[in-house]
Chain A
């Protein structure tokens, strides 16, 4: 089976930096994804790490350590619009294996205060 753990809530102020951690247990591993979801909306893709290390995309960065089964999403220069839920997820296996689950973590609710 597969399971992911995240903190349920994080609060920070505008302009700050926040790190959202994710630990996972999987029977097979093909990388770690991060999604953002605003209230009432659908998840939007933020990043994907297949290899160890840090991936930077603008204000958002994502890190993976496969040996530690751990990753994090780093949000810099926080803005009010960043208030949302953030999910780590283990994506499906390669195309020729439809049997893998796509598992989402429980989500972290980020509140950005003025």
Chain B
């Protein structure tokens, strides 16, 4: 199957700093990527839909100025958590959609904000 990578896999940062997470589709082009957040023992919650070459579409309740998304190419989308706070600590997962509408998930990024 298709492969999606995320970097970093784990990050610890101080409160107030910004963190960038990369999501790459390694062997296919993805015009659409999705960003999810998952708190412990909870389900995945869609944060935003990232479209190559255009602005991301954010879900209700997700602050677009706090979670900056850039989909600069057909194989790369980035999520930047700006001015991170402890409540932003979570597991962030991206997925990329293939031309046949199948979604493949990245391995996730564990963010811990101290």
The answer on a CB contact under 8 Å between A45 and B102 is yes
Residue from A42, A45, A107 in contact with B93 in the complex, judged by beta carbons closer than 8 Å: A42
Q: Chain A residues near B101: list those with CB within 8 A.
A: 91-92, 94-95
Q: A42-B108, A101-B46, A107-B43 are in contact. Are A91 and B57 (CB under 8 A)?
A: no
How far, in Å, is B67 (CB) from chain A's closest CB?
16
Bits for A66-86, please: 1 = Cβ < 8 Å to B, else 0: 000000000000000000000
Question: Which residues of B lie under 8 Å from residue A43 when comparing CB positions?
Answer: 44, 93, 105
Residue A63, interface by CB 8 Å: no
User: Do most interface residues of chain B lie in helix, strand or loop, or is the interface mixed?
Assistant: strand
- The distance in angstroms between the C-alpha atoms of A103 and B49, with both chains bound, is 12
- Enumerate B68-98 residues with CB–CB distance to A below 8 Å: 93, 97
Which of B34, B46, B102, B103 gathers most chain A CB within 10 Å? Answer: B103
B107's partner among A41, A45, A102 (CB-CB below 8 A) is: A41
**What is the number of residues of chain A that contact chain B, defined by CB distance less than 8 Å?**
21
User: For the side of the interface on B, what is the size category?
Assistant: 20 to 34
Q: A42 and B43 in contact (CB under 8 A), knowing A98-B32, A98-B51, A98-B57?
A: no
Cβ-based interface call for A104 (8 A): yes
CB-CB nearest in chain A for B40: A39
Q: Which residues of B contact A107 (CB under 8 A)?
A: 42-43
Q: How far is the CA of A60 from the CA of B25 in the complex (A)?
A: 27
Further pairs besides A94-B101, A98-B51, A104-B44: 6, Cβ < 8 Å: A42-B107, A101-B59, A102-B46, A104-B43, A105-B43, A106-B43
Q: Which residues of A contact B (CB under 8 A)?
A: 35, 40-45, 87, 91-92, 94-95, 98-99, 101-107
